[in-house]
Chains A and B, each alone.
Chain A
Amino acid sequence: MLASILASGLAAGAIYALVGVTYNTMFSTSRVMSFTAGQLAMLGGVFGSLFTLKLGLGVFAGLALTLLACAIIGVITEYVAVRPVLKSLDQHLYVLSTLAVALMIQQVAAIKWGTEPQPFPRLIGWGSGVWDEKFWLPVVACAFTIGALEYLYRRTLVGRAFLAIAEDNFAARALGLPERNLRIASYALAGVIGGVAGFSGGELLLAFFANGALLNFYGFVPVALGGLGNNRGAIIGGLALGLFQQAANFLVGGIFSSVAVFTLFIVVLLMAPQGLFGTSTARRV
């Protein structure tokens, strides 16, 4: 049973962590928490199943098209729901505008794709039991994403520009960084990361329109645990959440695992409002 908990916990945790990183990627350049993060992961599964199973394209072509489609959705989000409300961040209008876009995505998926969970193809066909690819694939995807992001942020000019904008938007603009283009790029990147989460987790979660709302919440919990914009916190928080949830699932049953996660969420927010790895906020007066 321990092996099952570990396998399914790490797999689910890796997906949550990737959705958390999706939130953070959008947050870093715009200071906006977007409700589309979970929907992007849902689309990763739906597009993946559409391209590879329904349309019969190969795994690689399917993956490439899925990520491209998710990146486009990410960019649309930036244009429609983020840019118009950036002027008045303190009014939290982004909560409403991104929610509106998320609802549109979900509704279109429900109508065009169907409200029943649909199968996701086996991608590689390696492993069985607790070593089944549906368990290790999300973990590998998560590890690969972390590596790629580390390379991007530390070794490339574009990545450093991202960091500069995340650190101090005004100073970065004063230095002449193309803030708007970088923001669009970060939303495309967030789309890709969300797509990876959905595609790699497709065999576990299936291609199901309601995954969006679910992943919105389960992907936000690691962000809340780790602190806004903190990718390391989101990864650790995501994996811990997955293990915690699956342990509760196996030990006390399905009903209580979601109750346990919700309780954990509320308790952590009350004990450590800035997250376990976060820093305190600026002055108010």
Chain B
Amino acid sequence: MTAVATAPPREHTGSLRGSLPHLAPFVGVLATAMILPLVGNDYWALIGTRMAIYWVLVSGLNLVVGFAGHLAIGYVSLLTLGAYTTSVLVAGNVMPPLPVFAALPVAACVGALFGVIVGLPALRLRTFYFAMSTLGFATIVTQIALAWQSVTGGGIGIVGPEFPAPFNTAWGFYALCIAIAAFTTWLSANVAHSRFGRALIALRDAEVAAEATGISKPRMLIAIFLLAGALAAVAGGLFASLQTYITPDAFTFDLSVLFFIAILIGGRGSILGPMLGTIILTILPEIAAPLAAWSTFLYAVLLLLIVLVMPGGIAALLDFRNRRPLASNRAILPRAAALTDIIRDRTGGRMLRLRGIALSFGNVRAIDGLNLDVATGLIHGLIGPNGSGKTTTLNVISGYYPAKSGTMTLGDEALPAGQPVERAARGIARTFQTPRVIGEASVLQNVMIGGSVDGKASFIEALLALPRNRRDERRLAAKARALLAVVGLEALAEVRADRLQHSELRFIEIARALMLDPDFLLLDEPAAGLSNDEIARLAELIKAIGARGIGVLLVEHHADLIFDICDTITVLNLGRTLAAGTPAEIRVHKEVVSAYLGG
């Protein structure tokens, strides 16, 4: 218990002191950028401006690649699109000329639109398809820029937009680009530190669990594709101005590679890392001039080395906090009594009813006409031999498998088959047979994922860090800490989840599921891999959860645990109900004893 008492109350108030170590490097980079005009010449202004412009694009792309884990390798296409859109609008080739500050927002909208179009395959398909669609788009944008001569000037090119004073000097334009880069850094950090940023990482590393907490992949991805596309197009407009004259040759695929690799060198799920990556990769060819022709080759070698040797990138190198050893003799000590402060007490029972559910995989009948009633406030055990359809039943209830026939009702409403994303909003939470936890996120963040549907703020509010989003964050963090205390893991809140033991992951999953304050909690073999002491504590925890009026459906192989804590038990065999009743009835049921319990 001493560990609990000495756990530092960090970031409880969101104080400046807590976030200072995170902010310091960014302030350092910004300060360096402000000093540069005092010490550098126009050549450095050019390099600095280029860096800032690249970062405007990379800060958005980082959310796609580093956070959502989608390998967008052809983002130079959106830079090209933004550059040409801005240049053409300012030059007035298709309509009366626009001032550059009006053309940039238009370009941002065009970029956002195409960002989504290019991203469409990512909504449904595996990684390689999205990589290919961005590559294909990069190929055709260059072809169109070459061929559509009346608008883009073809191979001859077009004049880039010129900014009005005071931004028309080298240092003036530099200041503008740095200001925009600082702004986009702030935007992307806001998204990254909101529930949307956590949802992106959840979709990347634990997609199935993310769906169970109500995170909709298409909506999340479309939001960040809009943002990343818009930022890339704005970067394109600035890039065109920096170049003063653009031709399709200016947008080589090498640039795409630079953006992409800057993020991977920087490390996934970090903002500082990719920023340093962008800076390094922009300077690298300048300080090694003889190698300039081989720069892409060097980037490629770097990429291969990172993948094979250092998958965490710069961010992992800088993550000192997670190198401190954890106490090896730590124990999970749940304090179930604290549940009363977090989980509301339910009055009036609801029923989860399954009637005649059937589902086959090929010729195997996994479930064959199953009836099941789970009531709030009771603990319902679901047992049976391997392959009897226990987990499949959970998957049907939580929507991963649509049943071929039969009906499900929740209270008075029908529970539609399929649609796992809808379950969280209906008050159904679950855990998984193998814990599905985001290894690269902290324990606290993992638990906060569970409250995703609870957030009130929209994506825009999160993007601009408006008060409602800050309230969401404080509320979710406080609730997650309280639930970690309930399951006995609050001392590990800031630790990366992949450093934890298997049994601890099981309790994290329960805390995550409880974030919903669900009416029904589905537990899939929560005691598997736990020690006897831990199973006893788990039993107390589950009983306390049931006592708060939550209906628990417990799939388990530990017969002792089942008979100890369940109010009713259903025994499955070959997808059918073999027996149902109270523990006392099941214990003496002849067929159950011979088929399953042995005796």
Contacts and interface: CB of A to CB of B under 8 A. Distances in A.
Interface in B107-164: 117, 120-121, 124-129, 131-133, 135-137, 139-140, 143-144, 147-148
A95 interface: yes
A255 B139 contact: no
Contacts of B432: 285
Given A95-B131, A107-B296, A284-B208, A100 B400 contact: no
| Most-contacted residue by chain A among B127, B143, B297, B391 (CB, 10 A) | B297
Contacts of B304: 80-81, 96-97, 100-101, 104
A269 B140 CA distance: 18
A181 B297 CA distance: 29
A107 B299 CA distance: 11
Nearest to A110: B296
A118 interface: no
Interface in A76-96: 80-81, 84-85, 92-93, 95-96
A259 B147 CA distance: 12
B203 interface: no
Nearest to A91: B311
Nearest to A80: B304
Interface size class of B (residues with CB under 8 A): 35 or more
A244 interface: no
A84 B308 CA distance: 7
A277 interface: no
B136 to A, nearest CB: 4
A224 B395 contact: no
A258 B139 contact: yes
Given A255-B147, A285-B432, 15 more contacts: A84-B308, A85-B307, A85-B308, A95-B131, A96-B304, A100-B300, A100-B303, A101-B300, A107-B296, A217-B139, A221-B136, A265-B133, A269-B133, A284-B208, A285-B391
Nearest to B207: A284
A233 to B, nearest CB: 15
Contacts of A103: 257, 296-297, 299-300, 303
B294 interface: yes
26 contacts: A80-B304, A81-B304, A84-B308, A92-B126, A95-B128, A96-B303, A97-B303, A97-B307, A97-B308, A100-B300, A101-B300, A108-B297, A111-B297, A214-B139, A216-B135, A217-B132, A217-B136, A217-B139, A255-B144, A255-B147, A259-B144, A261-B140, A265-B133, A265-B136, A284-B400, A285-B400
B128 A33 contact: yes
A92 B71 contact: yes
B186 to A, nearest CB: 29
Contacts of B125: 269, 273
Interface in A268-285: 269-270, 273, 283-285
Interface string B187-206: 00000000000000000000
B88 to A, nearest CB: 15
Interface of B: 71, 73, 117, 120-121, 124-129, 131-133, 135-137, 139-140, 143-144, 147-148, 207-208, 253, 257, 264, 293-294, 296-297, 299-301, 303-304, 306-308, 311, 361, 391, 395, 400-401, 432
B303 A262 contact: no
A96 B133 CA distance: 15
Interface string A14-51: 00000000000000000001000000000000000000
Contacts of A81: 304
Contact of B293 (A111, A266, A284, A285): A111
B132 A285 contact: no
A162 interface: no
Nearest to A105: B300
Contacts of B124: 269-270, 273
B128 A92 contact: yes
Contacts of A270: 120-121, 124
A218 to B, nearest CB: 8
A93 B139 contact: no
Q: Is the interface of B mostly helix, strand, loop or mixed?
A: helix
Nearest to B302: A100
A111 B140 contact: no
A221 to B, nearest CB: 8
A96 B71 contact: yes
A96 B264 CA distance: 10
A269 to B, nearest CB: 5
A266 B140 contact: no
B132 A262 contact: no
Contacts of A100: 300-301, 303-304, 307
B116 to A, nearest CB: 11
Interface residues of A, number: 41
Nearest to A111: B293
A199 interface: no
Nearest to A220: B132
A255 B311 contact: no
Contacts of A161: none
A255 B248 CA distance: 14
A258 B121 contact: no
A93 B127 contact: no
B403 to A, nearest CB: 14
| Most-contacted residue by chain A among B128, B131, B303, B401 (CB, 10 A) | B128
B144 A258 contact: yes
Contacts of B71: 92, 95-96
Contacts of A93: 307, 311
Contacts of A95: 71, 127-128, 131
| Most-contacted residue by chain B among A93, A100, A104, A255 (CB, 10 A) | A100
A59 interface: no
A269 B121 contact: yes
Nearest to A32: B128
| Most-contacted residue by chain B among A95, A100, A258, A285 (CB, 10 A) | A285
A254 interface: yes
The 4 closest A-B pairs by CB, nearest first: A103-B300, A100-B304, A258-B140, A100-B303
A104 B144 contact: no
Contacts of B308: 84-85, 97
A182 interface: no
A104 B253 contact: no
| Most-contacted residue by chain B among A84, A85, A255, A259 (CB, 10 A) | A255
Contact of B132 (A111, A224, A254, A283): A224
Contact of B120 (A107, A217, A259, A266): A266
A84 B306 CA distance: 12
A95 B71 CA distance: 8
A32 to B, nearest CB: 9
B128 A262 contact: no
A284 B210 CA distance: 13
